[in-house]
Structure 1
């Protein structure tokens, strides 16, 4: 058993001072506000539950700072992303993902949903172990110290039935049945779950039911994530190919449900919003990537009011800072509506903690409460960003940033202290340099 005294902590019923917690076998065995325990290790600052990053492409971290040099578009950015995808093998992927996940724990992220489609060799042939690249991601998470839900992704087409081309041949398993057979060879653990994803409706064959039926059968009862309506061009292409919106296509084939996460969900019709709400689906918003790529602002509040549940991700890692993602949801709504007050701080923090973890299959994480996984993120409340802001949930959402994280604990193990930030940066520089052969 390990005991801690949290100077100030955000519990399910609000902020409390002097919170005594006991951790046994990686879970909270006691959480007692107002109890001074002299023998306990004291954590100064404001301590909050661990954050869940529900949408990540680890290898995109190599693009930061390199895609801003020309005006471009989502589609020109995609070509630069493909250039990175072509360079990676299991060893360089392991190094890059480990460094990227280390940046995440430094930012208070204790669990990641890794949307994984970089499956095979550059020419499309499987590795000797067909899951070598997925296993590299699971190992990277273990080394970095955070939990992972590996969202192994079905990708069969370069666009509405057209064959994969270029870097995309690495993504393709040939059929949904072959994809499922490969994924069934992956084993999870107490710190790693294996779940499914559909890259997008663009990645489906000309007869979408041939892929969607077996995907729905495989994913039954498990998290299923999908890029949904990220671009207007995706919606137009789906209507031209299949006669319906992407959301309606998924609904008609039984892929919308309470374990479905619609990633981005940016360009939706009123009917789309109603379908996602009725399904009690999750909506994984990634505001820093969506603004970086010029995607647009999704209807976050309308989705929530319809019954969908908000979660947050860092996606392409233009920024890895879920505090920024939280407040961006509200601030982006203000820009679109020219009104304030769409989201309360507590709602956004819930999206980044309990709801985010649930969307990744971890219902036992995201709160400082007895029986939950012992994830703790401690923030400096006297930094230039947080000083004088009240040291409560409003500080977390509307003032703090990743640089204010002083310590991160995952399943009762301390995986980051602020003094290690420089080392994390050096690891990133080395791993990214190898990708670009600098």
Structure 2
């Protein structure tokens, strides 16, 4: 099939009735035919909209979800969670990371993500040595994306130091270790994987784990137009440590470098002052907000209203994968602001008062920009990444198209995604991934082995 008829399609200008979408063999939309008439035997879908980009993922952490929700003897925090995550990460094999990533990506696809930005830092083997193929772990994750049909922006992570001031990595961080030359060699090794479904960028892990000199060198060496992601200002402890080291806050320090532009995604950016909010918005970078992980780890609240008012761009990611649903990320992005500000309907602007519509379209645009790929619109030249919602579900039965996004995001917990197409190829049908039995079997075997350790 190379076309799809939608009674209602969510186009860049909003919902449009009677649209036929055409795509070519490469999975690119080549015609968006408005005011069309359905053929006598043509399959018709009711609600069709672009798939979402998951702009921040650590795929291996999917297998850790639910395993850290037990209080310790002292106060728990992001930092105590990190200790548990490190211990877990030391055991994962290349075969296991592929099985975990495939399970994750199949779940993300079923819930409406059609592409992912994979912030990948498990490079070395369990002894801290590179594999015979140094990029094997990244290659395995890309293979999982191919297996499931997920589009991917692979972001090999530069991870050189344990903390500010170029402190040596700890022994339990040995699998992450890379310098500038090594990360560029990994990127070069992955160049052959680039295609219509795969982009290769880079991710300096954080200002704790990479120096400004390294970041500058990597950005200069990276091919033009590639995405650059970084963790920034996720925890107050990180902000305090950066001030103690440099006299400046993390986002302030990064913005003062003059490096940040539209290629960048600043992941979390939870703890910003007013000047930093304005600076990130003015830079053209994307703020990568991961609400369910930030809530799970107790990070704090992103300053969404001031950022929106400044014209800032944002997208959402599932990060540690305590959730695989863009609806949940967007819902709790809004609900977090309502709790923080004790108000309602926060995420809106003068031209778009419907909160669900504003959140969905803003996250589509921000996620697409962060991916470095042509995504997020049902428009000519963009990928044919499409969701078909279940118009027979009680929440959508008889629904006007202009009310669909608000209802989908803010009413109930059922998954309303019925079918999913990536690059014009169907990967989810009637709510099930087409490769789901084989993927689940491999994941089950992987988890039995890991839990037996």
TM-score (norm 1): 0.93
The answer to whether the Cα contact below 8 Å between 2:255 and 2:279 also exists between their aligned partners in 1 is yes
SS of equivalent residue, structure 1 residue 184: helix
Q: Does 1:170 align with 2:175?
A: yes
**Equivalent residue for 1:276?**
280
Is contact 2:104-2:324 (8 Å) kept?
no
Question: Cα distance, 1:152 vs. partner?
Answer: 1.0
Please state whether the residue corresponding to 2:102 is helix, strand or coil: helix
**Larger CA deviation: 104-113 vs 53-62:** 104-113
Corresponding residue for 2:186?
Answer: 182
Question: Which residue number corresponds to residue 394 of structure 1?
Answer: 406
Task: State whether residues 345 and 394 of structure 1, in contact with CA within 8 Å, keep that contact through their aligned partners in structure 2.
Answer: yes
* Shift, 1:232, TM fit: 0.2
Whether the 8 Å contact between 1:64 and 1:317 is mirrored in structure 2 is yes
Q: Residue 199 of structure 1 is aligned with which of 184, 191, 205?
A: 205
Matched, 1:434 2:449: yes
Alignment partner of 1:215 out of 218, 241, 256: 218
Rounded to whole Å, the distance in 2 between the matches of 1:14 and 1:275 is 30
Residue 8 of structure 1 is matched in structure 2 by: 8
Question: Residues 386 and 77 (structure 1 numbering): CA distance in 2 closer, same or farther, change over 3 Å?
Answer: farther
* 1:173-223, Cα deviation, whole Å (9 max, x unpaired): 2x223322332221122211110111111113xxx3432321231345321
Matches of 2:125 and 2:184, distance apart in 1: 18
Alignment match of 2:298 (pick from 294, 300, 310): 294
Q: How many residues align?
A: 433
Deviation at 1:338, TM superposition (A): 1.0
Structure 1 residues 73-82 or 231-240, which shifts more? 73-82
Q: For residues 425 and 89 of structure 1, do their structure 2 counterparts lie closer, same or farther at Cα, with a shift above 3 Å needed?
A: closer
**Deviating 4+ runs (over 6 angstroms):** none
SS at match of 1:254: coil
Change (3 A) 1:372 1:214: same
Cα separation, 2, equivalents of 1:261 and 1:164: 25
For 2:235 and 2:180, locate their aligned partners in 1 and report how far apart those are by CA, in whole Å. Answer: 24
Q: Deviations over 1:41-88 (max 9, x none)?
A: 425342110110000010010111211122632112112211221111
The match for 1:259 is 263
Establish whether residue 371 from structure 1 lines up as the match of residue 381 from structure 2: yes
- Offset of 1:327 from its aligned partner? 2.0
Between stretches 405-414 and 100-109, larger displacement belongs to: 100-109
SS of the residue corresponding to residue 168 of structure 2 reads coil
Hey, what does 2:350 align to over in structure 1? none
**Bigger CA drift: 374-383 or 385-394?**
385-394
The residue aligned with 1:318 is: 322
2:414 matches 1:411? no
Could you tell me how far 1:325 is from its partner in structure 2? 1.1
**Is contact 1:94-1:137 (8 Å) kept?**
yes
What residue in structure 1 maps to residue 64 of structure 2? 63
Q: What do the CA deviations read for 1:102-134 (whole angstroms, capped 9, x no partner)?
A: 111111211100000111112211111111111
Aligned partner of residue 288 in structure 2, secondary structure: strand
- Check whether the contact 1:82–1:167 (CA below 8 A) recurs between aligned residues: yes
Question: Contact 2:38 / 2:44 at 8 angstroms: preserved in 1?
Answer: no
- Contact 2:225 2:372 (C-alpha < 8 Å) held by counterparts: no
C-alpha deviation, 1:360, in angstroms:
0.8
Gaps (5+ residues) in structure 2?
Answer: 348-354
How far is the alpha carbon of 1:20 from its aligned partner?
A: 2.0
Mapped partners of 2:7, 2:270: distance in 1? 40
Question: How much does 1:370 deviate?
Answer: 2.5
Shift of 1:266: 0.4
**Structure 2 Cα separation of the partners of residues 305 and 428 of structure 1:** 44
Shift of 1:306: 2.2
Q: Equivalent residues in 2 for 1:18-417 (5 A)?
A: 18-25=18-25, 26-38=27-39, 41-70=42-71, 72-160=76-164, 161-173=166-178, 175-187=179-191, 188-204=194-210, 208-219=211-222, 221-343=225-347, 344-362=355-373, 364-387=374-397, 390-391=400-401, 392-399=404-411, 403-417=415-429
Q: Which SS does the other structure have where 1:170 is aligned?
A: coil
State the secondary structure of the residue aligned to 2:262.
coil
Of residues 104-113 and 380-389 in structure 1, the stretch that sits farther from structure 2 once superposed is 380-389
Q: Which moved more, 1:212-221 or 1:350-359?
A: 212-221
The root-mean-square deviation of aligned C-alpha atoms, in Å, is 2.1
* TM-score, length-scaled by structure 2: 0.90
Partner of 2:421, secondary structure, is: strand
Would the aligned equivalents of 1:51 and 1:322 in 2 still touch at CA under 8 Å?
yes
- The CA deviation at 1:243 is 1.7
Structure 1 distance, partners of 2:170, 2:41, is 58
